[in-house]
Amino acid sequence: MTKIYDPYGVNVKAVDDCSMEIAGGEVCMIVGPSGCGKTTLLNALAGFHSITSGEIRLDGELLCGPGKPLAEQGADRIVVFQNGALFPWKTLSENVAYGPVVQGKMSQAQALDKARQSLAEAGLGNVADKYPGEVSSGMARRAEIVRALINHPKVLLLDEPYRAMDALTKSIMHESLLEMYDRTKVTIYFITHDLEEAIFLGDRVYVMTTRPCRVKKVVDINLPRPRDYSILSSNEFRLLVEETSEAVHEEAIKAFQAGERELA
């Protein structure tokens, strides 16, 4: 796909003929310099931004393409952003139950029962009836992912969800996400600046060029699942970090020299 912002004005090409094929059940990690267009790709998948040319398909069905520049938003693709999006006036269980009730898939009572069960599976059973402001940021973020997964999406879209967290909290979040992935095998499209995070979580890492965004390198992560933090000390892990880091560093230098600003 290609995406040009304001084609009749400043004419900023954010994404240029970027092609990717993600298998069902894959954890696909996207890394690249700030402003390279990673979030533009995610927004096109989610149906937040139109595309200029090309097409996006999900399970073979056209989401957007010629004659249909904007994908319809739907519960088959759910986004978890950098900043929290829980309703502060609802408890965690009420937040998680919200989607199935609004979509008419469950009654309020059924959805709340399912929400509490899902929160318990994610280690949040003891805070299910607390409000987002009463729990830690890590717990709130975990509840957001539970809220996304209760809708059984085909793709979970994560835009640097752990960016502002300290290393210890981030490690706990990684383990929680992997536990949820092992249970659901949902396809994950995950944007990050953290190379170790990308390799620890992912099946494949796509290294993107500086703007306009294209695929520079694809790194296959042939590390066994299920994974735990002992793998970070392995030689295989360190070699993958080095391989990925070299490609990202080249693009970061180009972005710096070009004086790129954060675009998306």
Q: Give the class (CATH, top level) of 1-76+155-165+186-264.
A: alpha beta
165: left (phi over 0), alpha (psi -120 to 50) or beta: beta
Beta strands in the chain (DSSP E): 3-5, 12-15, 27-31, 56-58, 61-64, 77-80, 155-159, 187-191, 204-208, 215-220
Give 103-144 pLDDT, tens digit per residue: 888 999 999 999 999 999 999 999 999 999 999 988 999 999
Q: Report the candidate in 8, 178, 166, 157 with the shortest Cα–Cα distance to residue 77.
A: 157
- Residues forming a β-bridge with 166: none
Residue ranges per structural domain of the chain? 1-76+155-165+186-264
- Which whole number is the average pLDDT over 88-97? 96
- Which whole number is the average pLDDT over 42-60? 95
Q: What is the mean pLDDT of the chain?
A: 91
**Cα-based torsion angle of the residue sequence 80, 122, 135, 194 in order, rounded to the nearest 10 degrees:** -50
pLDDT of residue 264: 43
Percent of the chain residues topping a pLDDT of 70: 98
